[in-house]
């Protein structure tokens, strides 16, 4: 299954991931707190090799680029939920800090969801987020995600289990 590059609101396009962009993406994470929010299983410092290693079996890695320029400003992953056909999960969403708080995170997540509905036949998309990551929660809720519960996960080097919120969006056309 391939996800077609598609024009998005405000000129944001989804473009396929290339390992070439891994150093750029690693540079978008400016401190350990952001890395903990973005990739709690990844030990600091974030490197290009660690970004390359985020790939999941059957997962899609996507970049968001502003139409006027080919340079990506957002990264995220769309992965199948194990043994749940039609259910996908979004991981590792990050926007270039120079482009945050302009509505592009929202456009990018919206575009990822659209790819899930149109290209992967999803009926439901989930994600998990730390309760104190207010920018991310606000961004996801703007797209239409709503809270469906909480989960507790341990992330190796980060010590005891931590509480995360599970957010979900349903395919509006199903």
Ligand X SMILES: CC(C)(COP(=O)(O)OP(=O)(O)OC[C@H]1O[C@@H](n2cnc3c(N)ncnc32)[C@H](O)[C@@H]1OP(=O)(O)O)[C@@H](O)C(=O)NCCC(=O)NCCS
The tokens describing 30, both together, are 């400016």
Using rule CB under 6 A, residue 103 touches ligand X: yes
Give 27 or 121: the residue with its C-beta nearer to ligand X.
Answer: 27
Task: Give me the residue whose beta carbon is nearest to ligand X.
Answer: 105
The stretch among 12-20, 61-69, 80-88, 91-99 that binds ligand X (CB under 6 A) is 91-99
Give 43 or 142: the residue with its C-beta nearer to ligand X.
Answer: 142
Give 2 or 152: the residue with its C-beta nearer to ligand X.
Answer: 152
Using rule CB under 6 A, residue 95 touches ligand X: yes
Using rule CB under 6 A, residue 62 touches ligand X: no
Using rule CB under 6 A, residue 19 touches ligand X: no
The tokens describing 9, both together, are 């609101």
Site for ligand X in 115-134 (CB under 6 A): 129, 133-134
The residue from 6, 13, 15, 37 that contacts ligand X (CB under 6 A) is 37
DSSP tag of 18: -
Cβ(119)–Cβ(168) below 8 Å? no
Using rule CB under 6 A, residue 164 touches ligand X: no
Place of tokens 């390359």: 52
Strand 124-129 to 72-80 pairing:
unpaired
Using rule CB under 6 A, residue 94 touches ligand X: yes
Distances, alpha carbon 145 to alpha carbons 29, 105, 113, 114, in Å = 24, 14, 10, 13
Place of tokens 């993406």: 25
Round the CA-based radius of gyration of the chain to a whole number and report it.
15
The residue from 122, 139, 167, 169 that contacts ligand X (CB under 6 A) is 139
Give 37 or 155: the residue with its C-beta nearer to ligand X.
Answer: 37
Q: Give the binding site for ligand X (CB under 6 A).
A: 34, 37-38, 93-95, 100-106, 129, 133-136, 138-139, 142
């Amino acid at each position: 299954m391939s996800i077609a590059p598609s024009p998005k609101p405000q000129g944001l396009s989804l473009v396929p991931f290339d390992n070439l962009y891994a150093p750029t993406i690693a540079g978008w994470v400016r401190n350990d707190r952001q890395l903990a929010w973005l990739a709690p299983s990844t030990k600091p410092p974030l490197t290009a090799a660690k970004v390359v290693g985020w790939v999941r079996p059957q997962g899609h890695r996507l970049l968001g680029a502003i139409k006027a320029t080919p340079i990506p400003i957002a990264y995220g992953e769309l992965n199948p939920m194990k043994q749940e056909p039609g259910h996908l999960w979004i991981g590792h969403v990050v926007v270039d800090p120079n482009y945050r708080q302009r509505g592009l995170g929202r456009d990018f997540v919206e575009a990822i969801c659209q790819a899930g509905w149109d290209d992967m036949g999803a009926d439901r998309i989930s994600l998990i987020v730390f309760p104190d990551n207010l920018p991310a929660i606000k961004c996801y809720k703007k797209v239409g995600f709503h809270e469906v519960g909480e989960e507790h996960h341990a992330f190796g080097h980060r010590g005891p289990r931590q509480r995360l919120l599970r957010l979900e969006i349903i395919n509006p056309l199903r």
